[in-house]
Amino acid sequence: MLTVDYERLGAQRGDRVLDLGCGAGRHAFESVRRGCVTVASDRDTDELRSVTDMFAAMDDAGEIDSQAPQRISHAVVADATALPYPDGSFDRVIAAEVLEHIDDDVTAIAELARVLRPGGTIAVTVPARSAERVCWALSGDYHAPAVPGGHVRIYSSSELRAKLAAAGLEVSDSHGAHGLHTPYWWLRCLVGPHNDQHPLVRAFHRLLVWDITAAPPLTRTLDRLLSAVLPKSLVLYAYKAPARCRALDDADLVGAAHAA
């Protein structure tokens, strides 16, 4: 289930893509399928091992563009506030549902802007304010400090836009996403966010899995309507103003990833 719209991101075959806070790798895998040279970064080594294994499985299954300029992608342990990549390393950057977990988000955003090449684009997604405020109100166990590594703030669209602008990124587009997931998470928080076995939670989860796998018109239409008025995620797209700089080649990027 993708949160980022790759057409709005502008990702093209051969682009160098950083997926920061990649988690299980959903956006990294899509980037690879599109023929992008992809670096999936996270602090969770177990998640990264799974991502590395999936990269290999995708290659074996022929899901990776055999004619792409550089087919090898990497999973790298990295701290968002001190990224181990040279300036302007990436054509596209994705930071999906990660900034709300980082205490020093200003430094993290500055690092994302630093490693993005001038003229490159970035997609940043965070929990949408309205949906998130209800989750916080319903359960103290949904967010930090009750949840180590959990959500530490609720973003408004204006706050996130201002922080991106302060880092030299110009927001060009935005949209909501995953509206069908908003009531699911409200239900989770109401019965206890860790109560996966509650009958209503299990039934709603089955509905979401069915929606993702089968994409029936009814739930897809409902998700689009809810995403417009009560999204679970806010997605912003921004670009870094062009400037003269030395272009890194793929060998530089691969070397930086291995050095990390």
| Structure-derived torsion over alpha carbons of residues 130, 139, 225, 127, reported in degrees to the nearest 10 | 60
- Cβ contacts of 56 within 8 Å, gap of 6 or more: none
- Bridge partners (DSSP) of residue 93 are 18, 122
Report, as an integer, the average pLDDT of 215-238.
Answer: 97
Mean pLDDT of the chain: 91
pLDDT digits (tens, 9 = 90+) for 39-85: 999 999 999 999 999 988 988 888 876 655 555 578 899 999 999 99
- Rounded to whole angstroms, how far apart are CA atoms 18 and 15? 10
Q: Is the pLDDT of residue 248 over 70?
A: no
- Cβ contacts of 44 within 8 Å, gap of 6 or more: 23
> What pTM does this model have?
0.89
Nearest CA to 2 out of 231, 211, 177 is that of 177
Whether the CB-CB separation of 92 and 120 falls below 8 Å is answered with yes
Measured distance between the N- and C-terminal CA atoms of the chain, rounded to whole angstroms:
29
Residue 66: CB atoms within 10 A of its CB come to: 8
pLDDT digits (tens, 9 = 90+) for 90-116: 999 999 999 999 999 999 999 999 999
Q: Are strands 90-96 and 16-20 parallel, antiparallel or unpaired?
A: parallel
- What six digits make up the tokens of 85? 């990549």
pLDDT digits (tens, 9 = 90+) for 126-147: 999 999 999 999 999 999 999 9
Q: Could you tell me the domains of the chain?
A: 6-127+147-177+233-259 (3.40.50.150), 179-230 (no CATH)
